[in-house]
Amino acid sequence: MPKKSKNPLTALAAGCVAGGIEATCVWPMEYIKTQLQLQSQAKGAKLPFNGMISGLSYTIRTTGFFSLYRGLAPTLIGSGPKAGIRFGLNSAIREKLRDGNGNLSPAKNFVAGMCAGVSEALIIVAPVETVKTKCIELNSPFVKGFQHIIRTEGIRGIYMGAAPTAMKQ
């Protein structure tokens, strides 16, 4: 018996909501991880913290709880559409790959997932991750981080690390 097909637009909307919720929940850890990466690049400087717990504690103590959400905007801007693209494209591609009986082989299911993941990485993840890291580094809003990258590195700068990101997705 063929599986019930799903509407790609419903999958897109569900993905957008799920992506936004996911980003909000994990953002404090992502923020501290990025801070750890950036401070490890500062040669010879005394590091204010050296791990996730000490980073959370230090940040809350020095700048307050809500500072853990600095830089969340670019991630929210990207997370909803990222998950929406993944869910929506996966659903649409799966529908196109179904056989005449409505069945989908594991190999075709795999191909649909791969195509959706690579598309999500190239369209949303790589550019947003690059701008997010720059925003945290410069302690600036999304637009300023984006402008800085364009001004200093050109449009290619937005896609730094796109190939590894696509492979990861």
Q: What is the per-residue pLDDT across 129-162, written as a single tens digit (0 to 9) for each?
A: 888 888 888 888 888 989 999 999 999 998 887 8
Burial of 25 (0-12, 13-18, 19+ CB in 10 A): exposed
Domains of the chain, start order: 8-168 (1.50.40.10)
The band of 104, judged by pLDDT with boundaries at 50, 70 and 90, is very high
Signed CA dihedral, 22, 166, 129, 85: sign only = negative
Residue 125 has pLDDT above 70, yes or no: yes
Average pLDDT over residues 121-133: 85
Q: What is the per-residue pLDDT across 1-50, written as a single tens digit (0 to 9) for each?
A: 455 556 778 888 888 888 889 889 999 998 999 888 887 666 666 778 88
